[in-house]
Amino acid sequence: MAFKSLDLAGCQRESQKLLLQAGARRGSGNAPSQIERRRLVPRTATYLLNGFLDPFRSCNKNNEYLNNPDIPEADRIILRKVQATYEVLLIPFSSQGYDHRIELVWHCDRLWGTFDFGYCKGVMLIEPGPTVEDLYGFKTLPFIWIKPCRHGLPNALDWNTGEIRLDGNMIGGHFNNTPGLGRCEFIGQRLHGPPLSTRSSHSFIDEWDDLDISSDEDDEAVRLPPRSKSSELASSEPEPPEWLASLEPQSSLDRTAKDKREFLAMVTGIFNITSRAIEHNWSTKAKKLSIRFHVDREKIAVWGKFSLGICNGFLLMKNSPDSLKQGVPLKFRWRGRETDTGDSISGTGEVSIKKDRTIQGVFHDMYGNVDFSGKRKFMPNNESGYEASYYRSQWKEYERVERQLG
């Protein structure tokens, strides 16, 4: 039963065919058992709406792509419906029915996803995600997926590709190079009820990063997938924003401009950090420290979000994106709250971001000086886990509280 012979509009007919086949195998004519029927027909998901939908609505609330006023509201609704959990039938294991899952979440104009096929689990990235025209035309979109490899290499990942088609309610496609099967075709249907995902977009990014199991003691550069397998990766270089157009040089400086764009794309990301000051004075709070940076192409600013164990908050660099330089101390202002008391505090700091994706800096006025150093997480460029609007709104909120207390 090849996938190319199926269309998603015929998935219901295919389900009924599988039911009849299951009944025939049991020798019960056309009457499969209720257990088989429940396994083979996509189940209806019941959701408690009071207080349950809020976190899922917020996933798309600040998504500028999905809320673009230039897109008709009817089309925006269709795009939002793609974000959902899908019950999936694997064609090679059709007798198992819709027992598997694919979960998709929008982030900007890309789709993150996770899949659980029992024998194979991992994270997938569709970039760019579908347009309304893609959904109407049932266009095939390429994606890349990763899973931990099992051949014992401590720093290796299995990078693979696939294709998917979506129409807002149903999906279909194939994964290449799945363990023991190679190409694995699938069809799926969105769970009935509101189009929900159980996770936030940045949790997918964190899981993508968690699959990079490289050792902290390993000083080599972050591993990237082979070029031959990453043509559809999120790291594909985007069109330069307007504020970067002025950096386009004459032909003799083409390399300089390209380096600049690559550096700015790398700045937007999540950096795992450590701090000697925190380890020495607050050892119980010295784990899972991080800083996120985000180049805001619209407001010509560089934002940050930090989690330091003793204090969490946001920062704003004094430099504009086009004035950022590698390895040069960059000054910033920060605003945050103490984790124990909730008191608002603020100060200044500086950070150096190097070409090898490492950072080093200090927060001033945070119980003295708090040093930090670290390395960028293994993840696509131009990806911090949040959109620019989120950083702007959080900075304004801290600013409002600061004025009230002042």
- Last residue of a domain, which of 155, 189, 214? 214
* Domain termination residue (choose one: 214, 244, 275): 214
Write down the pTM of the prediction. 0.48
Residue 304, domain CATH: 2.40.128
One domain, residues 192 and 99: yes
Domain identity same for 91 and 181: yes
Domain containing residue 167: CATH number: 2.40.160
User: Are 286 and 370 found together in one domain?
Assistant: yes
pLDDT in tens, 361-379: 999 999 899 999 999 987 7
Give domain status of residue 70, yes or no: yes
What whole-number percentage of the chain has pLDDT above 90?
Answer: 32
Does one domain contain both 203 and 296?
no
DSSP per-residue codes, 258-302: HHHHHHHHHHSEEEEEE-HHHHHH-GGG-SSEEEEEEEETTTTEE
Mean pLDDT for 329-340 is 94
Domain count, the chain: 2
Asked if pLDDT for residue 254 goes beyond 60, the answer is: no
pLDDT score at 137: 81
Q: Which residues of 142-159 are buried (b: 16+ CB within 10 A; e: fewer)?
A: ebbbbbeeeeeeeeebbb
Q: Tell me which of 189, 214, 239 is where a domain ends.
A: 214
Question: Could you tell me if 327 and 354 are in contact, meaning their C-beta atoms sit under 8 angstroms apart?
Answer: yes
Q: Are residues 205 and 304 in the same domain?
A: no
Q: What is the pLDDT of residue 71?
A: 82
Determine, yes or no, domain membership for 256. no
pLDDT at 209: 64
Task: Determine whether 342 is exposed, middle or buried from the number of CB atoms within 10 Å of its CB (0-12, 13-18, 19+).
Answer: exposed
Range of the domain at 362: 261-405
Residue-wise pLDDT for 204-243, tens only, equals 766 666 665 433 333 333 333 333 333 444 344 445 444 4
Q: Residue 291: beta bridge partners?
A: 271, 306
